[in-house]
Structure 1
Amino acid sequence: MNFKPIPNKFEYLNWQEIESIAKYKRSTVIWPFGAVEQHGPHLPLATDSIFVDEIISEVFKLFPPDIPIKKLPTQYIGFSPEHKGFAGTISLSSNLIISMIKEVGGQLSEMGFKRLILINGHGGQISLLNTASRELRSFAPNIAVFPCFLWSGVDGVSELLTKTEIENGLHASLAETSLMLALKPELVGDERPNEIIKGQIPEGWSLEGNAPTAWLTDDFSKSGVIGDSRGANANLGNDLKNLLIGHWYKLIMNLMKSDWPN
């Protein structure tokens, strides 16, 4: 008798397979979140979604076949009101996203899953997913929820990037352009915008950081880029890709070997 391999994708399984996996003590679901929003004249609207989907898909290839972890379809449309001044951006309301996470997470908990990892590729919805995760835990206390940002805590990333990118590369800049050149070069246009904000921010304040402002991209960018995308290249992108894959494989495997936080 031939046995079919169990797919990594949640939606490719049948109900009996889901029921069986959910019974495991450490059963886990990963739900990637991205956005459909402008990324300058040279990157696709789905940049953040492509990044998180591609990286987590590569991570899943490294998992042993018997590990009780599955991936939900990537949520492509997210919370992107800061980019609505540019055509193509589609943004869902914060209330809708919180409700969606509570409903899906609550149903996963009812199935018996013990953990839900939200892997988010869009910086503009970090706080929102943190809030949604707290609401989900209150609504469905039997499921542990982990709201994570794709780029956070990845050792070695800052060593690969220029000082300008680290300080000013907030959107569609050097890092994102390079990573897309490594993942989907056919989607990258020829323009390399350079829009760095200078002399506008009082000392001690910032767009993002300890004393931030709720900025909108068209407050200070005509191209939609915040930073300098010049110098982007596939070699840098491949280095970033490998760091991201290695980081999330290690982090998720550490969790899967543990009973924490139960």
Structure 2
Amino acid sequence: MMGRDYQDMCWPDIEAMDREKTIILIPVGATEQHGHHLPLGTDTLDAQCAAERILAQLEPEFKLLLFPMIPVGLSVEHMAYPGTVTFQPDTYYRMLKEICDCLVRHGFRKLVFLNGHGGNSATLNNVAYTVRSETGAGVFIIDISILLAQPDKPVEVRTDPGCDSHAGELESALVLVSRPEAVRMERAVPTRPEKFLGNQVFTLEGPVGMGWLANDLSAAGNCGNPTFATKEQGEKMMAYIVEKACTALHEIAAWDASVTPRA
């Protein structure tokens, strides 16, 4: 049986595929500060770990190719901290859009971004709408940060409500699964987003928000209490992410990508 790694394909392998029914899974991450205790590659590591587990869980006959990881994203909010690398918004949009354009030109009709960094989300949505409107192809987004916020997640969070965000409890728990040797928990600093606390409408999680910078959250660059994180939490959350992603991929595979004609 042919493998599922896009990089291992030769062009005749691509040509021989049923490209209209083959999903391309594109993991996207970031290279940015994650407080004193988590590695710069946190979002990339989590997305790559999830992608590998998704492939392991899908049925062998499921038509999917894993695209190479994109390890740099839109991280302008973290540039006050050394180590962060970011595209500018227009550059990031063009790069993602042109990848999609190439894949669609070669006959793929369903592209799925597996996003490990919340700062990428707005640009991914813009790309999805544009590619759909221009080509009729479907661009879908499985967003880890959104899954972490779902009320049915299988873990209890000990950090105060509204305070567990960037490099906090749950994100730290995930890295204890995806790259445990890179976690320096002895450096972890519990923080609270003091600038936002006490507000009813303008809060860190909305409904009214802002384009915050990481140093609006805390001097350490994280938000939450990472010392509460455990590997058990991380394993449960990773399994939850993989389960939701596999369900979504089956639904995407069954979805009619043709555009309904105007009346």
Same fold (TM over 0.5): yes
Per the alignment, residue 20 of structure 1 pairs with: 16
Aligned counterparts of 1:6 and 1:196: Cα–Cα separation in 2 = 49
Letter matched to residue 146 of structure 2: S
Aligned counterparts of 1:163 and 1:14: Cα–Cα separation in 2 = 49
1:187 maps onto 2:201 in alignment: no
Per the alignment, residue 206 of structure 1 pairs with: 203
Q: Check whether the contact 1:43–1:188 (CA below 8 A) recurs between aligned residues.
A: yes
1:157–1:122: structure 2 CA closer, same or farther, 3 Å change rule?
Answer: farther
Write out per-residue CA displacement over residues 117-148 of structure 1, whole angstroms, 9 at most, x where no aligned residue.
11111011211111122222233x13211123
Q: Pick from 138, 141, 160: which aligns with 2:155?
A: 160
Aligned counterparts of 1:248 and 1:203: Cα–Cα separation in 2 = 33
Q: Structure 1: which 4+ aligned runs deviate by more than 6 Å? A: none
1:215 maps onto 2:212 in alignment: yes
Letter matched to residue 12 of structure 2: Q
Per the alignment, residue 111 of structure 1 pairs with: 106
SS at the partner of 1:247? Answer: helix
Identity value in percent = 24
Write out per-residue CA displacement over residues 69-90 of structure 1, whole angstroms, 9 at most, x where no aligned residue.
1011111000001100000000
Q: Check whether the contact 1:158–1:166 (CA below 8 A) recurs between aligned residues.
A: no
Structure 2: runs of 5+ lacking an equivalent: 259-263
Q: Pick from 109, 122, 147: which aligns with 2:141?
A: 147
Q: Check whether the contact 1:109–1:143 (CA below 8 A) recurs between aligned residues.
A: yes
- Give the Å deviation of 1:163: 5.7
Task: Calculate the TM-score normalised by the size of structure 1.
Answer: 0.90
Q: Show the 5 A alignment for 1:5-154.
A: 5-21=1-17, 23-139=18-134, 141-153=135-147
C-alpha root-mean-square deviation of aligned residues, in Å? 1.9
Letter matched to residue 54 of structure 2: V
Range that drifts further, 195-204 or 72-81: 195-204
1:199–1:69: structure 2 CA closer, same or farther, 3 Å change rule?
Answer: closer
Q: Check whether the contact 1:40–1:172 (CA below 8 A) recurs between aligned residues.
A: yes
Write out per-residue CA displacement over residues 91-131 of structure 1, whole angstroms, 9 at most, x where no aligned residue.
10111111112211111111111111111110112111111
Q: Check whether the contact 1:119–1:147 (CA below 8 A) recurs between aligned residues.
A: yes
SS at the partner of 1:230? Answer: helix
Task: Calculate the TM-score normalised by the size of structure 2.
Answer: 0.90
Structure 1: runs of 5+ lacking an equivalent: none
Write out per-residue CA displacement over residues 11-46 of structure 1, whole angstroms, 9 at most, x where no aligned residue.
11111111122x344221111111000001111101
